[in-house]
């Protein structure tokens, strides 16, 4: 039975993926998909939802079946790429010295973010550090949910 509503599909990594790869945030998937031409934002839900994140796709009436299939293939491919990269980096990090699990997760996250963003994540992080050291307040963001 059809119920009218917003043409939006929201999804997130499965519990199995989140448990096995806690260092793999969904925002990296959003970044990789943006490089393929999709705008699929990652949103944090309200605190009452236990810090859940979702990815959102707006589905237009004009969306063809071919484009939908390509989108699903690209989401699957990007997810598989991130998982393979996380596994490879985890192997490297585990053999590169004694670090705690938390330190290893942080290192893996930074490496994956740098890979997914093409280095833009590092630039943003440095700018954020510079702004905080200068004592300036964070700039207001006028970006909101649509």
pLDDT at 144: 56
> Alpha-carbon distance 90 to 19, whole Å?
15
pLDDT at 136: 45
Q: What is the pLDDT of residues 73-84, one digit of tens each?
A: 999 999 988 888
Higher pLDDT, 125 or 138: 125
pLDDT at 84: 84
> Alpha-carbon distance 90 to 78, whole Å?
18
In the chain, what are the domain boundaries? Answer: 8-133
Q: What is the pLDDT of residues 7-57, one digit of tens each?
A: 889 999 999 998 998 878 888 899 899 989 999 999 988 888 777 899 999
The pairing of beta strand 53-58 with beta strand 42-44: antiparallel
């Amino acid at each position: 039975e059809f119920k009218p509503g917003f043409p939006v599909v929201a999804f997130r990594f499965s519990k199995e993926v989140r448990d096995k790869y806690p260092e793999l945030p969904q925002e990296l998937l959003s970044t990789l998909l943006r490089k393929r031409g999709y705008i699929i934002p990652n949103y944090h839900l309200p605190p009452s939802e236990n810090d859940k994140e979702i990815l959102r796709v707006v589905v237009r009436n004009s969306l063809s079946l071919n484009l939908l299939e390509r989108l699903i293939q690209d989401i699957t491919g990007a997810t598989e790429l991130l998982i393979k990269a996380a596994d490879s980096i985890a192997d490297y990090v585990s053999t590169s010295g004694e670090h705690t699990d938390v330190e290893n997760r942080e290192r893996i996250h930074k490496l994956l973010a740098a890979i997914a963003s093409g280095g833009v994540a590092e630039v943003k992080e440095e700018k954020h550090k510079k702004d905080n050291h200068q004592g300036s307040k964070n700039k207001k963001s006028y970006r909101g949910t649509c």
